[in-house]
Structure 1
Amino acid sequence: MYSFEKRNLSPMLFEEAKDVFNSPDYLYELKFDGIRCLAYLDEATELINKRGKILNQTYPELKNLHQNVKVKMLLDGELLLIKNGKPDFYALQRRSLMTDPFKIKIQTNINPVIYVAFDLLYLKDKFLIDTPLLERKKLLQENVQESKDLIISKYIKENGQKLFQVVKEMKLEGIVAKKKDSHYYPGKRSSVWLKIKIYEEDDLIICGYIPKENVIDLILGRYLDGKIIRAGSVVTGKFKQQIINYAKNNPSIPLFPEKENVIWMVPKLVGRVRYMMKTKEGGLRQPVFMGVRDDKFAEDLLN
């Protein structure tokens, strides 16, 4: 039995869809690049992440969210840090790791965090998890006053492909599709809530690898002004033996400074990598190794 006072409800989870689609049965929203967070609003505000950790001390600028509502309620949403008009997950992650109260206070002015609410799970004295999603959305809109710290997520009906294209052009993370009549299943993953991420693919040079248990961590490179520079890393198990055999027959001197022991190889093999976006440091976010290209070598990437 869920209890507002015991704070014992976990956020509902998304399944991942491979392709975007249109459907009159679904509504579509932005997939926010933030930290999932439940907001318990009563006489005070209590923010709890999906692992059950209280976040109030980490984000003190959100301590008065309860002043945006007139009745007791539980919101589901995400913490976002906006920079240059877009969510910046890495800046948010740096803030999430801070523990020094003085540094946190400084950051509340330099890099303030906002709360984006996309669902209403409890209102006045009743849980709404068995209430259809569209009705919960309506109640959310009626009972929450937006402010600079608290924003309600907007959605569109039916046309997921159009929203996906706009989000792709803006280089955002993706969209979510939710069945309009869906109930809320705490702590469970369900196909009535789908996340559709935007991925990129690139051909990168395999420069070496770090042996791991049952897999290898590939050190990747790319050309910049005719020289190979580091381009992140990606784990593979399926192509492990092929790459190990090549490295054994084609050893190389170190190409980049690395903290771990790397087995370096002549930078000739090219791998296809799928990833969400490039990081500011030049790495790859959520990379997946698709395979070794047998029709292309490193020198082909110069053109």
Structure 2
Amino acid sequence: MLATAGALPPAGQDARWAYETKHDGQRAVIYLPGDGGIVLRARSGEDITAAYPEFRALGGALGRTPAVLDGEVLVLDQQGRGDFQLLQSRMGLADSPGKAARRAVEAPAHLVLFDVMYLRRRDLTALSYVRRRQELEDLALAGPYWSTPSAIVGHGEAALRATRENGLEGLVCKRLDSVYEPGVRSRAWVKIRNVQTLDVIVGGWVPGKGRLSGLPGAVLVGQREAGRLRYVGSVGTGWSEAERAVLARLLRAAETEDCPFDTVPPVAGAHWAVPRLVGEVRYSTRTRAGLLRQPSWLRLRPDLAPEDSAADLP
């Protein structure tokens, strides 16, 4: 179940909502079959269990009780906040168990649990958020690498203010009577980010000049809309030197002669790319035409499929 971008509920409805911290991590569904095993799957459906060996002990935490949980994988910074750049060093290692084990020592991951969809051979998705939350809290899942952070009911303004004051990504508002809707981006869950960010698909680039010769000077990005890739702008800032070099390698591998956007952008010297790379950008506002104002690159999102960037279109 996914959240819709939005704002705090009206003050008169505040008591009908619960508020949870929005984390900067990798979403995962956790399968505990009740035999001591554990399987983690990313939003793309990929099995990412082997990338996080520190979570193996969670497989036996409920004994022989089978469960399916919803959560987010984080790597925490020195202030205890999720840091996606640190997490990136842990992602993509499901096929490299030796490297995953080494990285688990250097940058241990933490699993935040916030929902339960299946428990004791019962499907809980038709239950209200309140009842599912109580079932989850009754499991008392807390360990060296996993936790069940509390949610508060009401006091949305104070909760959002606390996330801003503590440098957290934002807030997720969940309606108390909402059922769990697998695969649905629901208005019963509302996400509020403390910065304007957007997941975009890279469809091309413009070569850099001078010291950036041979590297992308800017990338051309878009979002899916009704099955088409809509151009939303050119992003030319926000990379480190190393990140720009990685992006250059990925773009060269994805180069194509065909423009992937539904309308060819009026960009001189553009090179086109197969639209399979997903990135996250920061921006101030949009133009009336839907283009991003003052966009800046934040990071690649290897945990997302290109279809996921269809969210948050105006």
TM-score between the two structures when normalised by the length of structure 2:
0.63
Sort the Cα spacing of 1:195 and 1:210 in 2 relative to 1 into closer, same or farther, 3 A.
Answer: closer
Unaligned residue ranges in structure 2 (runs of 5+):
198-208, 210-216, 222-229, 239-264, 272-279, 289-314
Could you tell me which residue of structure 2 aligns to residue 14 of structure 1? 3
Q: Which amino acid aligns with 1:189?
A: R
Instruction: Please say if 1:219 is aligned against 2:236.
Output: yes
Q: Which residue of 2 aligns with 1:103?
A: 99
**Alpha-carbon deviation of 1:68?**
1.8
Please point out which of 85, 92, 115 is paired with 1:90.
Answer: 85
Letter matched to residue 217 of structure 1? S
Q: Distance in 2 between matches of 1:59 and 1:109?
A: 11
How much has 1:289 moved relative to structure 2?
A: 5.1
Aligned to 2:28: 37
Is the Cα–Cα contact under 8 Å of residues 171 and 193 in structure 2 kept in the other structure?
Answer: yes
Task: Measure, in 2, the Cα distance between the counterparts of 1:40 and 1:15.
Answer: 25
Q: Tell me the distance in 1 between the aligned counterparts of 2:283 and 2:179.
A: 32
Change (3 A) 1:210 1:90: closer
Q: Identity percentage over the alignment?
A: 27
Change (3 A) 1:18 1:179: closer
CA contact (8 A) 1:37 1:78 kept: yes
In structure 1, give the amino acid aligned to 2:83.
D
Deviation at 1:144, TM superposition (A): 3.5
Q: Kindly state the Cα deviation for residue 35 of structure 1 after the two structures are TM-superposed.
A: 0.7
Matches within 5 A, 1:192-211: 192-199=188-195
Q: Is the 8 A contact 2:3 2:191 kept in 1?
A: yes
Rounded Cα–Cα distance in structure 2 between residues aligned with 1:174 and 1:166: 9
Choose the corresponding residue for 1:148, options 108, 133, 144.
Answer: 144
For 2:40 and 2:219, the matched residues in 1 are separated by: 39
| 8 A contact 1:133–1:180 mirrored in 2 | yes
Query: What is the CA–CA distance in structure 2 between the aligned matches of 1:158 and 1:186, rounded to whole Å?
Result: 25
Q: Which residue of 1 aligns with 2:16?
A: 25
Give the aligned partner of residue 47 of structure 1.
40
8 Å contact 2:28–2:40 — kept in the other structure? yes
Paired amino acid for 2:57 = N
- Residues 1-303 of structure 1 mapped to structure 2, 5 A cutoff: 12-19=1-8, 22=11, 23-41=14-32, 42-43=34-35, 44-70=37-63, 71-84=65-78, 85-98=80-93, 99-199=95-195, 216-220=233-237, 285-287=281-283, 290=286
In 2: Cα distance, 1:26 partner to 1:52 partner: 29
SS in structure 1 opposite 2:174?
Answer: strand
Where 2:115 maps in the other structure, the secondary structure is strand
Cα distance change of structure 1 residues 92 and 211 upon mapping to structure 2, 3 Å threshold? closer
Per-residue CA shift, 1:199-222, capped at 9, x if unaligned? 269xxxxx986667956514359x
Aligned length: 224
The one-letter code of the counterpart of 1:78 is E
Q: Deviations over 1:269-291 (max 9, x none)?
A: xxxxxxxxxxxxxxx84335545
Q: Secondary structure at the match of 1:52?
A: coil
- Residues 170/72 of structure 1: CA separation in 2 closer, same or farther (3 Å cut): same
